[in-house]
Amino acid sequence: MSERRDPIAPAGGDVANAPVLEVRNLGVTYGSGSDAVVAIRELSFSIAPGEFVCIVGPSGCGKTTLLKSIAGLLRPTRGDAYVAGKRVDGPPKDLALVFQEYTRSLLPWLTVGDNVTFPLAARKVPKSEQLARRKAALAQVGLPGFDDKYPWQLSGGMQQRVAIARALAYEPAVLLMDEPFASLDAQSRADLEDLVLKVQRDTGLTVVFVTHDIDESVYEADRVIVLTQRPTAIRQILAVDLPKPRDQITTKALPEFVRLRTEVLKLIKNEPTVD
């Protein structure tokens, strides 16, 4: 593949309808010869600006491999990912990543404030702008004034908020989240699900959210991409037309929510759907 711009994205000017994230014929094989393991057979999908897309699949289905390929941390064996029209070849500037393991993705020797700004400092963003972005981001995640605390002085939910603030301060076009709430308690999890929905609504950010929690995927998403077992391919893409803003109690009680979650569950369990 050449380094030129994605031919599908319009050249300059009007990019409103161009996908902000596109995955084209992407495949990943680990090892070679007889030891080769095909983690991802082939995946193609595209995500429009401002969309909230959840990716679900059975455990061990290569969700993290896909995510690493999009984040430029892993070179796919076949095909490509495009972020904001540019082929991913190393970590894209327009993409921020939130990890499941917040304790390991935050730097314990830095304060909350410095954790939020270190990517900006490395990018040589002017100090005053760093501070402004940090203030705004920490306020957005509900941690205003926590700048001088250390991450390990905070609860798990709060630490993940810091990681989200770091991603927001980076001002990406795409926010990629890798099972971000999987290690949190139920209450923090619900709070953070709502927080991410609110932030997405306020900022119009594109969110790609990998999860193994089916309820979570339906609750959060505009579309749910259901993956198959290894070697991974797309099982089905479901549109979620639940009313917004969503609510942990009323949304989850809607017949449509129940229908969708059942459908996703059946897809993952590889049973035919009843239509």
Residue with tokens 């927080």: 195
- Minimum CB separation of residue 122 from other proteins in Å reads 5
Distance separating alpha carbons of residues 156 and 41, to the nearest angstrom: 35
Q: Which is nearer to other proteins, 67 or 196 (CB)?
A: 67
CB-based contacts of 57, cutoff 8 Å, min separation 6: 63, 212, 226, 227, 228, 229, 232, 235, 268
- Minimum CB separation of residue 150 from other proteins in Å reads 6
Positions that interact with other proteins (CB under 8 A) = 68, 71-73, 91, 93, 95-97, 99, 101, 104-109, 118-119, 122-123, 150, 152-155, 166, 170
Q: Which is nearer to other proteins, 109 or 269 (CB)?
A: 109
**Eight-class DSSP state of 34:** G
Q: How many C-beta atoms lie closer than 10 Å to residue 131's C-beta?
A: 15
- Minimum CB separation of residue 170 from other proteins in Å reads 7
- Minimum CB separation of residue 236 from other proteins in Å reads 29
Q: Which is nearer to other proteins, 178 or 216 (CB)?
A: 178
- CB-CB contact of 208 with 56 (8 Å): no
- Minimum CB separation of residue 212 from other proteins in Å reads 18
Q: Which is nearer to other proteins, 167 or 214 (CB)?
A: 167
Q: Which is nearer to other proteins, 208 or 267 (CB)?
A: 208
- Minimum CB separation of residue 197 from other proteins in Å reads 23
Distance separating alpha carbons of residues 126 and 210, to the nearest angstrom: 33
Q: Which is nearer to other proteins, 8 or 107 (CB)?
A: 107
Strands of 206-210's sheet in order across:
86-87, 78-83, 21-30, 37-47, 232-239, 223-227, 52-56, 206-210, 174-178, 95-98
